[in-house]
Chains A and B, each alone.
Chain A
């Protein structure tokens, strides 16, 4: 599982010795995120986001479990119970803002984590399974975030639930029964609110379980690195602890500065004022938008305005939106280039930048009203999005001539100076 030179766990005292024989949990942690896990020595700060995402998951679970102690999942009182949390519960305002902004922070770091993977080819063999599990985590996150947004039972909650479950109504024949089944009624009401609450509570623990599989799968080949060259010798690695616990700790501090700035100074900046109006089934807000992290996908959904052969526009939009994420499952087999890191792929590098811009454009259009010119821009950007994965990546990986790779991670870091190469090993 790990490299032969990995440090071995040695129980420090009689108690840990006893524990190690009965249930080697400290050994497990030591080998997973401690000194027993050798990591490439050249990781940059793009490798910080996995730890940050794990931190956000913990943050959301802790604040969420607390909020659930004060929240009432009943359509008659849900809105008021959230106001009760905001006004009456000790520190309730902070915990709720921490949870709401925590969701945004979670998506920020997860998007950074995903785009790190896109650039450095982290999805390539032998790390496909890590990538696939990551996409599963992302899908679970989207479902969890959506259902969580429904719980305050404001106008955006209600109409968001209606529009998103309405997507299932686009499925031919069985769509409407499925929508009614999902909602437990003809429109979002008590039944829907209760089941969303139940699932919103459950799914983070499912995510935590898949995260464990994600890390398990990661520890089989070990972490990737910015050169994309696999670890060859001991001098290519350093132990995770203290080297990357320290580096990740610093990154966590920077992250917390940004997060706390949002939490304490702009707690509603990413929310929508309409959600402070209680849900009203008889009146639709003028401009329904999802939370910012869904905007690129919402833009793809709305980009389909006319029927495509026998498939109605609405169904096309739904299929395209889900395909936009499902296409990631095929990424390891669409990008055939044997070179992992984008640093050494001059053509890929340019298209990667184009994809980043394309997703930002989609995001902007998804948050804008459904009017021209945004619809047309979304259409072009959606076409480019799919073209990137289905056409550009396979072609680029076939015709591109990558730059020369360094011989090893050590060489990439220290150059060809033999004495420098040997120095850390000797010190060790």
Chain B
């Protein structure tokens, strides 16, 4: 009872807002904000850790790849295809009407200036992430001479552009640069 009387005493004339209301709102807000901030590390710990991120660039020597050959490298624990296109393959890629493509890009946009024969893409089908065939020795290259994904039948052409099948996008071109004539740094 005496508590109640005390509360009455601090009421500013009849406004109905008590000191206790302020304390209540302030305390709950502080706890709420604190609670939300606590979630931050809980969510963030799921993101790639420093050692995973540290693997996010890789250097590959391409000197041994003859025209018409390809190798599978590893970048971010995923396959990356490095292909030395023959002049005929470059020509085939350039002949395609870009406007007719599902994901319109020219071979030039997908390669580096002066290195148009070096087609470097992720070996990850843009449909559901399978590894397409065509980079290894003797693998089928599909009806457009590039890559063929056996999972759901997506066919890519010699610029690794999607031409047929369910995949929505061209094979992704990772960030890369030639650090010398024979070394390419991916990532």
Contact = CB atoms under 8 A, between A and B. Distances in A.
A313 B166 contact: yes
A312 interface: yes
Contacts of A287: 151
Contacts of B129: 159, 162-163, 166, 169
B133 to A, nearest CB: 9
Interface string A270-287: 000000000001111011
A314 B152 CA distance: 12
Nearest to B45: A184
A284 B130 contact: yes
A129 interface: no
B76 A370 contact: no
Contacts of B49: 184, 191
A340 B121 CA distance: 58
B112 interface: no
A182 interface: yes
Contact of B46 (A166, A184, A284): A184
Interface string B142-173: 00000000111100000000000010100000
B62 interface: no
B78 interface: yes
A181 interface: yes
B66 interface: no
Contact of A163 (B76, B79, B128, B131): B128
A185 interface: yes
Contacts of B153: 370-371
A195 B46 contact: yes
B48 A186 contact: yes
A162 to B, nearest CB: 5
Name the residue among B150, B151, B153 with the largest chain A CB count within 10 angstroms: B151
A184 B47 contact: yes
B50 to A, nearest CB: 11
What is the interface of chain A mostly: helix, strand, loop, or mixed? loop
A370 B152 contact: yes
Contacts of A284: 130-131, 150-151
B150 to A, nearest CB: 5
B12 to A, nearest CB: 47
Contacts of B46: 181-182, 184, 195
Interface in B113-157: 123, 127-131, 150-153
What is the interface of chain B mostly: helix, strand, loop, or mixed? loop
B18 interface: no
B166 A288 contact: no
B77 interface: yes
Given A180-B47, A286-B150, A185 B130 contact: no
B55 to A, nearest CB: 9
Given A282-B79, A313-B168, A370-B152, A181 B127 contact: no
A200 interface: no
Interface in B4-29: none
B87 to A, nearest CB: 29
Contacts of A281: 74, 77-79
Contact of B130 (A169, A288, A313, A371): A288
Contacts of A302: 152
A186 B130 contact: no
A163 B126 CA distance: 11
Interface string B24-60: 0000000000000000000000111100100010000
A184 B166 contact: no
Contacts of B77: 185-187, 189, 281
B48 A191 contact: yes
B48 A370 contact: no
B72 interface: yes
A41 to B, nearest CB: 51
A181 B47 contact: yes
Nearest to A188: B77
Given A187-B76, A195-B46, A312-B168, 5 more contacts: A182-B46, A185-B77, A186-B52, A284-B130, A286-B151
30 contacts: A159-B130, A162-B128, A166-B129, A167-B128, A169-B129, A180-B48, A181-B47, A184-B46, A184-B48, A185-B52, A185-B76, A186-B48, A186-B76, A186-B77, A189-B52, A191-B52, A195-B46, A281-B77, A281-B78, A282-B72, A282-B123, A284-B150, A286-B150, A287-B151, A305-B166, A307-B168, A312-B168, A370-B151, A370-B166, A371-B153
